[in-house]
Amino acid sequence: MEEGGKMDLRDNFDEYEVDENDDENDYNTNELADPHRAKKYKRWIKGLLIIFCVLIVVLSSVVICYAIYIKNKYDKILIGSKSGVAENAKNLIIPNKLRGENSGDVNILFIGRRNSNMEGKYLSSAMLLINFDVKQNKMNLISIPRDLWVPIDGGYGKANSIYKTAVESPEKYPDSGLPFSKKKFSDILGINIDYIITSDFDSFEKIINRIGKVNIKMPDSEIANYPFLQFDQFKSSRDNKNKNLYHLDGPSSFIFISWPKDAIPDFDRLRRIQLFVFSFVEQYVSSSLILNWNRTNDVLDIAENGIRTDIQIWELKKLIDINENIPSGNIQQHKLTTDQSSDGGLLKETNYFGTSYCPIPGDSDFSQIHSWAEKIIAD
């Protein structure tokens, strides 16, 4: 009250302040205080929890069924011991060590075979050691020429007949000849081989058609050396903007890595195989390949007829993860050759059985090759 009896409304303003949340708080308090409303809320929350639990069970069932389905299909190409679903699931989440991982190097032998409808279908057209240096995050590719003269089964023969010798004598060399092949190529290079993959080119060609084209980049000088690049199918696969880049489908890929059919020597073809494998691994060997339901299912259907391996599913997943983390600049390519001026020039030319071309180790006992391969892996 001001002097003179006049009232100032501001004097009692605090008495009339209203909390904007009062009505809402009262409403909520009254709602929760109502036992009928409280029971309704509890039923509503309980219903949500039940729905959530059902969804979890359904999703878990789908994942488990998918895992069993994929494992059963994968087991058709898996040779040797087979892990159960539970063990694979555990190792996919918390993976064990790969073979060779404790030493820092995981070595995988890849054998590419002729198509199943070709004469000599078990002869190898590509023999490649893939070395994962898990400590230094590097990869080495080591190619072995198919005509290399090596000891086989008490005698001698070309390296491309090692797998053929084993697979055609299942009573003597079980498990599709994979252990025997690993042992023989380990003896050639002087290093332990942990895993093996073998595939005919027919399956490889179909897989490429299913997952996508492989991009191959070559300099002008190299392009000029390959007459097959003038075939119509290669002209259409050439990139419109970058003339040094080719997008190869399955049939084109087969020609690229196998031309000419009976090349003697085949050192130039070995380089193209390495280039192709390097490009394929860089583009497609990733977790997305496994996680794509339709693509994985189709690839396993194709693989059933022409691919065999001793790599478990969880091991394959871990190898893919390792590969994804390796920069392309950390991938080195090597090959055994008769070119004394090049890396791996440890072979000398010779002929056995008349016209048959068979390079042999320059020191005759493979010791130089052993030192060379060991140095590649150690560096």
CB 98 within 8 A of CB 78: no
The first and second tokens of residue 281, run together, are: 């691994």
Rounded to two decimals, the pTM is 0.79
Closest CA to 147 of 173, 127, 120, 119: 127
**Tens digits of residue pLDDT in 186-220:** 999 999 999 999 999 889 889 999 988 999 998 88
Q: Where would I find the H helices in the chain?
A: 22-33, 35-74, 85-93, 162-167, 178-189, 201-211, 220-223, 232-237, 250-258, 267-284, 287-291, 293-306, 313-324, 367-378
Q: Which residues of the chain have pLDDT under 70?
A: 1-36, 38, 261-266, 289-291, 351-356
Which amino acid is present at 134? V
Q: What is the DSSP letter of 262?
A: T
Question: Which pLDDT score, from 0 to 100, does residue 352 have?
Answer: 61
Q: Going from the N-terminus, what domains does the chain have, and what CATH number goes with each?
A: 75-378 (3.40.630.190)
Nearest to 112 by CA among 100, 104, 103, 121: 121
User: What's residue 9's pLDDT?
Assistant: 44
> How far is it, in rounded angstroms, from Cα 66 to Cα 72?
10
Q: % helix / strand / coil in the chain, to the nearest 5?
A: 50, 15, 30
| pLDDT the model gives residue 285 | 78
Amino acid at 264: I
Q: Do strands 331-335 and 138-143 pair parallel, antiparallel, or not at all (unpaired)?
A: parallel
pLDDT at 16: 44
Closest CA to 314 of 64, 65, 74, 63: 74
Tokens of 191: 């290093």
What pLDDT score was predicted for residue 343?
Answer: 85
CA dist 186 and 109 (Å) reads 9
For residue 10, what pLDDT is reported? Answer: 47
Cα gap 83→90, rounded to integer Å: 11
pLDDT, residue 266, reads: 66
Measure the CA–CA gap between 379 and 67, rounded to whole angstroms. Answer: 39
- Nearest-angstrom CA–CA distance, 260 and 278: 21
> In Å, how far from its chain's centre is CA 127?
17
Query: According to the model, what pLDDT value does residue 109 have?
Result: 97
Residue recorded with tokens 């007459």: 227
User: Residue 199 and residue 254: Cα distance in Å, rounded?
Assistant: 13
Residue 87's CB is within 10 A of a number of other CB atoms, namely 14
Q: What is the pLDDT of residue 268?
A: 76
E strand map for 81-123: 105-113
Nearest to 133 by CA among 93, 104, 175: 104
What is the chain's Cα-based Rg? Answer: 32
